[in-house]
A and B are shown apart, each in its own frame.
Chain A
Amino acid sequence: MGMGMTSDLIQFALYLAVLTAIALPLGAYMAAVFTDKVRFLAPVERALLGAAGAGTVESQRWTGYALALLAFNGAGFALLFTILVLQGYLPLNPQGFEGLAAPLAFNTAISFVTNTNWQAYGGETTLSNFSQMAGLTTQNFLSAATGMAVAAAVARGFAARQARTIGNFWADLVRATLYVLMPGAVLLALVFVAFGMPQTLAAAFDATTLEGARQTIALGPVASQVAIKQLGTNGGGFFNVNSAHPLENPDAITNFLSTLAILALPAAFCFTYGRMVGDRRQGRALFAAMALLFVAGFAAIYAAEAAGNPQQAGLVIAGAGNMEGKEVRFGVLGSSLWAAATTAASNGSVNAMHDSFTSLGGLVAMLNMQLGEVVFGGAGVGLTGMLLFVILTVFLAGLMVGRTPEYLGKKIEAREIKLAALTLLVMPLGVLVLAALSIAAGTAAASVQDAGPHGLSELLYAYSSATGNNGSAFAGFSANTAWHDTFLGIAMMLGRFGYIIPILAIAGSLAAKKTAAATAGTFPTHGALFVALLLATILIIGALTFLPVLALGPIAEQVSLLAGRTF
């Protein structure tokens, strides 16, 4: 084992340890926030909810909760779309950028409202400061708060006993923003600036380089957007290359903090959930399942990237790994860890170009998203996505022993199973069906950059990222066409509401049920056996759905590379 690898392993171990150390207290804090125990901002809450009017206090049935959520996200979409289209007429536009074309504005508005933050636009060359701030930063907060509200409502529903309601959407939204996202983002943004990230309303400055050339260096309110893009599992960057840009991620410290921020809320929600359902072991089991999948994904990406590109054997000094599309200050470890975290969580920010990852490194990043963004996943929605798999696993375990499945003392019956099974269609619909349509229509071939199997990977990655609400890309893919702007937009909506509505329905249904006491015959859902079954369910479903197409993309590419073929 070389020096480099030892240091890499230490960095990774440190990362996991610090992540867990943050997630535990943060999880406890959020549980207190969502169960009315933390109220130090009560006057602000009252002012906001009071202005919003009636219907913002009393607990809602799941249908009311879902309608409120849809109304809020619909209004958010309309406002953001309008801002982007009218950008040329709005203030804080020092570069004088014109409004976005309708398909791009549609795609970008859907993208930010669904917490995907797919960037079909180039930040520093398309968007004004006003659009970045009032448009994108706002939705960075609100889409994350929406996901967190869903998790709170679902945890309440699962914990309730013969209740008709699961909480109030408006109250959850306000609390998630005021008590968690806002203080976290302010703190993180200032730390980021302390370590070199710009935060200014100026658009750029000009320099004369040592060789006498003119260099225009784009600036802006970077740190404030980056802080919330990381915390809220958003991922939409200020600059085109996102956190690979040296002003969006200046050094190893900002990189470490950013990578922690990607997974902090999703990981903490496991513990929030355990506390809210009154059985912390349940939360720990979910955390263990997610952490195991995460470590496996990281190990695979790291091994592939450290091995390097076989094309370059003999040309470059061995041991540096695959450095195309990576930054020196992050290296193979920092880039692989980020890739594993950002695709596990539906964050989607990048500090290296995934398109230039090795075939197998890119495959794992893609698979992380195709599993349905349940390996920590998005803020709140990662947890609820995992709970859908929990319900399916409980059902499968029940079938094996011939008992009515139970979870947290509640009978899991046909209605819940049907709803959970329905969500299994989301990923194949959004990825396989929409990608196949693009291929059939000829719009896929027009957008891919690379020939050969890697071209298929670029297309698959785009639709996996959109449906998984991830937002990262194989960026050689030209996504900004009327076709892909539209269909990727549809994939993003499907991947967002196709999970949120069914899980809220399940929460409503479980809330109404009686809770039976555990008996000797109850299958425990907090032990190692259950975690193993849960992992098997996730991996088997993901593999059955996507292995065939992965064989045609990254696996075929890897085989070609080993045979010395390029395209």
Chain B
Amino acid sequence: MNTYARPALVLLLLFTALTGLAYPLAVTGLAQAAFPRAANGSVVEAGGRIVGSRLVGQSFTSERYFHGRPSATTAPDPLDPAKSLESPYNAASSSGSNLGPSSAALAEAVKARVAALGGGPVPADLVTGSASGLDPDITPAAAAFQVMRVARARGIDEAQVRTLVRRNTMGRALGLLGEPRVNVLALNLALDALKP
């Protein structure tokens, strides 16, 4: 028995120290030294306070802001912790809707969102839930779709807003990978900077 038990236990403990503690702690040390901004969550500050993370979406409902995608995240009900309440863009508890393609609930939700936007067809990402519930981005089409509303709510020229959208549109990485997108928080911060 000792033939197997001793090496199993000794190697398990040594590897726990090496791969479970030394490895993550060493990577933490190196990352904090070399890339402190990213390592701490890409914090965005504006007006001297922390307003979010560049990478994490947040909820926008005001007409004056560009809106992100529908979010399926929830939070525990303060009255009954066994239940959960809708809590869009809860970055402490990521979640998708997980509704299947034949789900009636999904069909109804999409219809209601399209109706709220004044009828279809609309850009798909504006009416479908993201995977994480924290998607920071919308497509350039979804941003263009909202330009008129935001310009009116702010009483500024549409062309100005369109310029901001263009400036905040990121192309594919290396011109090749991923999808063109607009970071909603960055765009809304730029709007506020233009005319608070």
Contact = CB atoms under 8 A, between A and B. Distances in A.
B103 interface: yes
Given A134-B21, A209-B52, A217-B52, A457 B14 contact: no
Interface string B100-143: 11111011001100100000111111011111111111110100
B75 to A, nearest CB: 10
Interface string A179-217: 001100110011001111111111011111111010111
A10 to B, nearest CB: 7
Given A213-B59, A215-B58, A208 B131 contact: no
Contacts of A125: 92-93
A453 interface: yes
Interface string A34-77: 00000000000000100111111000000010011001101110
Contacts of A98: none
B130 A327 contact: yes
Given A207-B52, A209-B59, A245-B134, A474 B98 contact: yes
Interface string B126-164: 011111111111110100000000000000000000000
Contact of B124 (A48, A218, A245, A320): A320
Given A201-B28, A329-B137, A177 B98 contact: no
A453 B102 contact: yes
A190 B42 contact: no
A26 B94 CA distance: 35
A96 to B, nearest CB: 14
Residue of B31, B65, B131, B181 most packed against chain A (CB within 10 A): B131
B103 to A, nearest CB: 5
Interface string B47-71: 0011111111111111001000100
A239 interface: yes
B7 interface: yes
A325 B38 contact: no
Interface string A295-328: 0000000000000110110111110111111111
A221 B27 contact: yes
Contacts of B99: 324-325, 355-356, 449-450, 476
B58 A209 contact: yes
A427 B32 CA distance: 45
Interface residues of B, number: 104
A309 to B, nearest CB: 5
A255 interface: yes
A246 interface: yes
Given A177-B19, A253-B173, A566 B51 contact: no
A316 B114 contact: yes
B188 interface: yes
Contacts of A329: 135-137, 178-179, 181
A177 B107 contact: no
Contacts of A335: 131
Interface stretch (A136-144, A275-283, A376-384, A500-508): A136-144
Given A190-B30, A195-B38, A450 B6 contact: no
Interface in B175-196: 176-179, 181, 185, 188-189, 192
A137 B23 contact: yes
Contacts of A560: 102
B11 A52 contact: yes
Nearest to B54: A196
Given A10-B176, A200-B40, A557-B101, A316 B122 contact: yes
Given A217-B91, A317-B123, A244 B41 contact: no
Given A138-B20, A329-B178, A56 B7 contact: yes
Interface string A88-113: 00000000000000000000000000
Contacts of A204: 92
Interface of A: 7, 10-11, 14, 48, 51-56, 64, 67-68, 71-72, 74-76, 79, 122, 124-125, 133-135, 137-138, 140-142, 170, 173-174, 177, 181-182, 185-186, 189-190, 193-202, 204-211, 213, 215-219, 221, 223-225, 227-228, 239-241, 244-247, 250-253, 255-256, 308-309, 311-312, 314-318, 320-331, 333-335, 350-353, 355-359, 362, 449-454, 457-458, 474-476, 557, 560-561, 565-567
List the 3 shortest-distance A-B pairs measured between CB atoms, nearest first: A252-B178, A138-B20, A244-B131
29 contacts: A134-B16, A177-B19, A186-B23, A193-B31, A195-B38, A196-B55, A198-B42, A200-B41, A205-B41, A207-B44, A207-B52, A211-B58, A215-B58, A217-B91, A221-B28, A245-B132, A251-B173, A253-B178, A256-B178, A315-B114, A315-B121, A316-B127, A318-B121, A323-B128, A324-B99, A324-B128, A331-B178, A350-B131, A353-B98
